Structure 1
Amino acid sequence: MKPPPRYPCPSSKVCLLRKALYGLKQAPLEWFDKFSTTICSLGFTSSPHENVLFIHKSERGVVLLLLYVNDMIITGDNIDGISDLKALLHGTFEMKDLGSLSYFLSLEIISTDDGIYLSQAKYASDLLVHAGITDSHTESTPLEANVRFIPMDGTVLDNPTLYRQLVGGLVYLTVTQLDIAYPVHVLSQFLSAPRTTHYAAVLRILRYIKGTLFHGLYFFAHSSLSLQAYSNADWAGDPTDRHSTTGYCLFLGVLRSKRSLLAQAQKLNTVSSLIPLLRLSRFVGSSKIWIAHNDVFHERTKHIEIDCHFVRQRILIDVVRLIAVGTLDQTADIFTKVHHPTRFRTLLSKL
């Protein structure tokens, strides 16, 4: 390597970097390698589905550690194991114990005896302030019913920066407010050249959020971990290119029963392996279900044979059951199109 400019160094000598520093391109990788090596030496293993999730199982219970850059969440049913882990990490890294989890990556966490509630009220409030929305006016739905957007609507914004910032902020808000997922998906298509009509739609979404500020997700502590998935498609619904919009949602553990965290963690490994399968959301409607249950294919279905065989094998061993869902009961319909207020509230209640 070359020495820094104006640094007197004989040409026969070189500089050796002994420690990765903040700002270097290799610093994040060096940090993760150092941490993963340390945590794995303590008996933890990295999840095959998410390499920043580390798991330790023993007769005393389970300890889970989730890493995000240099922040982490530690949980599990092995209280002594958690204490031992924190002590060992403190001996290796300079760390701060912030106590029980209440705020993480703009997620607000409220723990009760029955479960955990996630919301982004503060994050949403900050987004409203950034947009300059200070009045009390709210909207009952994110978008007007039957509204359609095309690239040539309205006039081009002089400065699209705020539009892009707000849409980007809304994308992260969909982590807990799933009801705005479809509108945000639509408006994110106009980031390159947003227009006045698109900006007005973003403001409407924000006014809807103002009225649903404390909406979030609730995860029950005691659950059977039964898995249900809904998938739907708005066939050729895009007015510009006639592409279809597909949406899906997963419900894990909606039925209550008492199980230990260890049993939940073991079953989660099985559930997580089903996620890629459930993402094959083009299998919607009774005709697709018929194909999945039958091994005779039409010539025009070759492009889905591989996926279909994969699904069919899981059906035969009773891992997955495909069931036709009527329009009125189709929860995933909220992710494929804009609805009238009554229908929107019905779908929202199902989430």
Structure 2
Amino acid sequence: MIITGDDLSGIQEHKDFLSQQFEMKDLGHLSYFLGLEITHSTDGLYITQAKYASNLMSQARLTDSKTVDTPVELNAHLTPSRGKPLSNPSLYRRLVGSLVYLTVTRSDISYAVHQVSQYLSAPRSTHYAAVLRILRYLKGTLFHGLFYSARSPLVLRAFSDADWAGDPTDRRSTIGYCFLLGSSLISWRSKKQTFVARSSTKAEYRALVDTTSELLWLRWLLKDLGVSTSSAAPLYCDNQSVIHIAHNDVFHERTKHIEIDCHFIRYHLVHGALKLFSVSSKDQLADIFTKSLPKRCTRDLVDNLKLVSHPP
């Protein structure tokens, strides 16, 4: 059991009560839990899964020193039929399942893991090569983890993005979003949409709806934890058409198919849950969750998401 909070006397009372009911041992400050390694300092918390990632490389027999700079090869697209079927797919499935858990602290591999997760039923050699590339990227960034600053302001902001028709097999779009509380990354997602969007605007708008839903839940959670959520949270999007539609109360033929989503977004705009802002593509933090990116861009986004290799 993990007990946390800033009421030290209340925590002690709670521990005393539990010790009367159960046999228990106080292990002190949390340092390791289910593969998560936690380092405490006066500046904040640093959370990594370096040992867990290292064990994955051993499972894959990745013993050489070769590393890569990005988790996904630029402009690479996996397909169900390219490559030879794996004679024994169990290792592939174990590695992918473990990589999914690794995204708890490694948001930078979310898109890559999302891609390889789609081929668990019939993996091929190209899919396994993509898994090995993720592991080689992890090898070069083994100690990357999340840093939660003790001095970070408790102000929520969000980024929403979509890669329109990016899957060459079914032309479905991939959406991505991320949330930061001050400078600390607290929520993110990479997911393929369940429908085929006929325009980039529709793909981006549906991504905005998913982001808004997560935003409302996070605002409720923060309020429950005693964090003020009275001001509107800024939500950044790099599609001007989407922002225009969200603010425009006149519907026409081209927007009827997303009218319900428009009402949903506009309701929360009017009631002050969020404010929409335009952001340039180069400053779009959610980009890393929707597509493969060049080395420089990947490095910049990893830095902006505060994925660090050691506590500051």
Q: TM-score, normalised by structure 2?
A: 0.80
Spell out, residue by residue over 1:173-205, the C-alpha distance to the aligned partner (whole angstroms, 9 max, x if none): 111111111111111111111111111111111
Aligned to 2:108: 179
How far off is 1:264 after superposition? 9.9
2:261 counterpart (283, 307, 311): 307
2:76 maps to 1:147: yes
How does 1:46-125 map onto structure 2 within 5 Å? 72-125=1-54
How far off is 1:314 after superposition? 2.5
Structure 2: 5+ residue stretches without partners: 185-221, 306-312
Percent identity reads 58
2:288 counterpart (310, 334, 341): 334
How far off is 1:325 after superposition? 1.4
1:265 counterpart (225, 229, 239): 225
1:293 counterpart (247, 250, 258): 247
> Partner amino acid for 1:166?
L
- SS of alignment partner, residue 289 of structure 1: helix
Greater RCO, 1 or 2 (C-alpha within 8 Å, sep 6+): 2
How far off is 1:289 after superposition? 1.2
Aligned to 2:124: 195
Q: CA–CA distance in 2 between the matches of 1:263 and 1:148?
A: 41
> Partner amino acid for 1:296?
V
2:166 maps to 1:237: yes
How far off is 1:127 after superposition? 0.8
How does 1:217-232 map onto structure 2 within 5 Å? 217-232=146-161
How far off is 1:303 after superposition? 4.2
How far off is 1:332 after superposition? 0.8
Aligned to 1:40: none
- SS of alignment partner, residue 110 of structure 1: strand
**Larger mean Cα displacement after TM superposition, 127-136 or 246-255:** 246-255
Q: CA–CA distance in 2 between the matches of 1:138 and 1:231?
A: 30
Spell out, residue by residue over 1:196-252, the C-alpha distance to the aligned partner (whole angstroms, 9 max, x if none): 111111111101101101001111112321111111111001010000000011111
Q: CA–CA distance in 1 between the matches of 2:21 and 2:252?
A: 61
Q: CA–CA distance in 1 between the matches of 2:298 and 2:140?
A: 15
| 8 A Cα contact 1:233 1:284, kept in partner | no
Structure 1: 5+ residue stretches without partners: 1-71, 256-261
Aligned to 2:56: 127
- For this pair of structures, how many residues does the alignment match? 267
| 8 A Cα contact 1:235 1:243, kept in partner | yes
> Partner amino acid for 1:211?
G
How far off is 1:299 after superposition? 3.8
> Partner amino acid for 2:145?
G
Q: CA–CA distance in 1 between the matches of 2:294 and 2:30?
A: 38
- SS of alignment partner, residue 127 of structure 1: helix
Aligned to 2:94: 165
2:273 maps to 1:319: yes
Residues 212/264 of structure 1: CA separation in 2 closer, same or farther (3 Å cut): farther
Aligned to 1:212: 141
2:85 counterpart (134, 156, 166): 156
Q: CA–CA distance in 2 between the matches of 1:126 and 1:141?
A: 20
Q: TM-score, normalised by structure 1?
A: 0.71
> Partner amino acid for 1:101?
L
| 8 A Cα contact 1:111 1:117, kept in partner | yes
The structure whose Rg is larger is: 1
Aligned to 2:194: none
Give the aligned CA root-mean-square deviation in angstroms.
Answer: 2.4
2:177 counterpart (241, 248, 255): 248
Spell out, residue by residue over 1:301-350, the C-alpha distance to the aligned partner (whole angstroms, 9 max, x if none): 34433332232233224331101111111111111111121222222222
| 8 A Cα contact 1:106 1:123, kept in partner | yes
How far off is 1:263 after superposition? 9.4
Q: CA–CA distance in 2 between the matches of 1:263 and 1:206?
A: 38
